[in-house]
Chain A
């Protein structure tokens, strides 16, 4: 079924960003985050913005989709800005004053710095999930976690859990939507009454949703066992992704560059 891509969901494509090996991509995103948290001025943020803009441009993912994640954190952004911008009584550069509360220009600038940092963080991580299919993402995570198996960490199982969970997110969302409409057809209302009444109105949606989920989980587990799934250790993938020389070079050069920029600026 055709549906609009929700925020952060995979947007298929064949750009260099899509083709980059998942581990290399995660490494680059990690370095990008290090850069974001080590810069201490707007010059550094500008450099990070340039990096993000370049990556988005090369990925050919519509910027509308990349920016969609910002809406989800918009409340945090407003809060961040106000938390820095509002002062109780003394302020350095007062822009506006209502009683004892002042809007401080210097505070706003600091707030803006943090807001831009959060936006860039969201853009970077959105681009990672938009350009990497869930399966490749889980595969990448598994390989990154594999050294932990020495410490008896069940990397394979965790990766399988992630893959299955990711696989069922769209199905579950679709099912929830269907049940909501079905209960509306039986006269249920979700938009009237106080908070408690509204919360209770969702019981007829949540109960069947969870019952179906558990039932499906049970069936899936049985079906996997019937096909001889015995935990993740020693499992291989149908398509094993490999780091090519280009992936390694991109990771090394990109990460080094970003971290140096982050420390200097």
Chain B
């Protein structure tokens, strides 16, 4: 059981003078219940990866298989389904009410009005927008963070087996980012979750697995802690390491012998204090 990409290549405008290789041979499998974080610099192919994984782009070569089957076309409507939350998904809200917008996906899946309504109510609760309060509002009156959450609800309502999110916290305020992180953390119970971002600060602490993408290739695939212990990999992929790691690296450069690096501020403080005591 997995969403598996094997030897996937993708080139935009293939065969023309404007051809751009976006994915250069990707082998990845995402499991249900897992929170995978894909980190990569702008232009490294993250959005393309998600579009291919959701069946919205057909790979030039290689294959995408969902639970062993290969399917042509969008994977949103097959079972167990792949839901894709695009970058700035609030751009796609269109219906008269928030509830009607969230119902759009389930109805396209062929559910009845009643079932769709039920799904919409549940999804809106899941993103913290009570259907009672927000369901009958126009999506165009929501704040940025609320609109983002409504758009995510529109995908959750389709009950995907795999949930893919493209830069889900980009452009939100602190509160909005926190809300989205909570939604993501809660979703992994129901689905395999893949989060794609260039911002290593946001999800590194909660991810089961981290994948580094650089120029359309996977340069690292392993547990978050393994990446944390070799932070030079961030720079190699054109990324900024999280501030907390940079602080510890600076401490190391200044001569402190840290036994390991940590993402947790309390833990990191303790490590630095211990190292200083040892140095005296």
Tell me the A residues contacting B by CB distance below 8 Å. Answer: 2-4, 175, 178-179, 181-189, 203-205, 207-208, 211-212
Contacts and interface: CB of A to CB of B under 8 A. Distances in A.
A182 B51 contact: no
Q: How many of chain B's residues touch chain A, expressed as a range?
A: 20 to 34
A187 B92 contact: no
A186 B18 contact: no
Given A3-B12, A186-B105, 9 more contacts: A2-B13, A4-B18, A178-B86, A179-B91, A179-B92, A184-B76, A187-B105, A203-B94, A208-B94
A186 B108 contact: yes
Contacts of A189: 108
B95 to A, nearest CB: 8
Contact of B154 (A3, A4, A186, A203): A186
Contacts of B86: 178, 181-182, 185
B16 interface: yes
A186 B111 CA distance: 13
Highest count of chain A CB atoms <10 Å: which of B20, B91, B154: B91
Contact of A175 (B12, B91, B93, B94): B91
Contacts of B56: 181, 184-185
Interface string B164-201: 00000000000000000000000000000000000000
B11 to A, nearest CB: 11
Pick from A3, A186, A187 the residue with the most CB of B within 10 Å.
Answer: A186
A39 B18 CA distance: 40
B140 interface: yes
A interface secondary structure, majority:
helix
Contacts of B30: none
B23 to A, nearest CB: 16
A211 B158 CA distance: 25
Contact of B18 (A2, A204, A211): A2
B155 to A, nearest CB: 7
A204 B18 CA distance: 31
B32 interface: no
B104 A181 contact: no
B109 interface: yes
